[in-house]
Chains A and B, each alone.
Chain A
Amino acid sequence: MSKNQTAVKRKTRLSLGIIWRQRYLLAMSIPFVIWLIIFKYIPLWGWTMAFQDVKPATFKKPIFEREFVGFGNFIKAFKDRLFTQTMINTIGVSIIGIAIGTLAAIVFAVMLNEMKFLKFKKVTQTISYLPHFVSWVIIASIAKNVFNDGGVVDSLFNTNLHLMSTNSVLIWFVIVFIDVWKEVGWNAIIYLSAMAGIDPGLYEAAEIDGANRFQRIWHITLPGIRPTIIVLLIMSIGGALNVGMERQMLLSNPLIEDHTMVLSWFSYKRGIGNSDYGLGTAIGVFQSAVGITLLLIANKIAGLLGEDRLI
């Protein structure tokens, strides 16, 4: 909080007088609060649909006149023939993504931190951000050139590897590879800024004690960014089920959909594709509920291991 405003910061109690005095502030903020309620809070109220039978015909009915089905939609979702595979895909692609993505970003950040030719470091860093700013559609279009049958990789190895046309877990790795390629430079920034906060005296002392470069990385740099790593890991575990439908759908094709389908996409497919709004919402609610649980568990484990907790 800014020190400049302490003079003004007296207790402001709600009264007609103050509302009149602050009418401009009210006029400048209330429209956005209304916007917020419509676009952010009304959809939250829509979670009630997860416990109701809602189809296009019954959507118009007032909420209390729709048929309540309890956990019926959830049971329907779990019994769905696509559910188990979708769950496996979501968790699989997520865990691989978190593991490889985190590792790659840390390694890249350490390398940038060690780079002594500063101009070259800057150029590399700038280039590494480029894919981050490019949309997933463009990335998908580019990835198809590289990984499709007869694409760049195939022609490089002079064989047909079917990287994007094999209906197996191979596609998880291809997707993770593309994702890491897109985001590694960007994700390294936060680790780099954590490294910038490490006391340079530590490195000097280590050098005097005769520590070589790898020892300095291992004993100073990595422990220095440890809290950052933990916080980011907790957050990404909390988001483990929130694998975006956009990326999955764009990098997929009907041949390999069995292994690219994830929860958000499944929710769309059932909710809007099959017009079963209740079922689609239930899948979304399930995803959020598991996400919060995972976040709390990861947070608890971090606490038990003596690390800084997020919450």
Chain B
Amino acid sequence: MSEAAATGAAPAEGMTGLVDDWAADKQTYHVPWGKAMMWIFLVSDTFIFTCFLTGYLNVRMTTTDPWPPQSEIFALSFGGAPIPLILIAIMTFVLITSSGTMALAVNYGYRRDKFKTVVFICLTALFGATFVGMQAFEWTKLIVDEGVRPWGNPFGAAQFGSVFFMVTGFHGLHVSAGVIYLLWVARRIWVGYYDKKGYEIVEIAGLYWHFVDLVWVFIFAFFYLL
């Protein structure tokens, strides 16, 4: 069994390290339980989104009606000229920015800088809430102004609306849950709950947050661009 685990020495690199980890007693990965659990959960969640996107690609092939022109539907007009996908571009920018602030929060967390950690977590949550707000705006626009419904729309294949509401809705739920999770973590840090336990929770929440961002990149690429 691995001596590294017992003595706390730096684990070996590469294949040797892998074998050491799996041959060790007590624990396989040198991480807290919550972090291991979050990683496994995220792989499981990846399967969910993969199934959603695969299902989407499949119905896009089977539907008999033409697929609606997304770049026109998701365009906004500023001063008369429609700019394709501009709202989605802004939303994507906001979400990716929030990943940056999350990374800063993790960094300050490990430096035990309580104030800055909380500030950056709250900033991340704010960006997340902005994203969800813009998504609500997008949904309202599609439903009220353009008459898109899950069961049909004036532009073409009914599956367009079905997939749109299902996939962005499921992702939006993830972001909303993430915002609540981040605020909860921020509050607990602020009241000193993690002062003794350590700030790994920031990184664990960060893992979830980066995952939600990454999923959005795929949704953006497959649904809005393709």
Are A and B bound to each other?
no
Which residues does B use to contact A, with CB under 8 Å? none
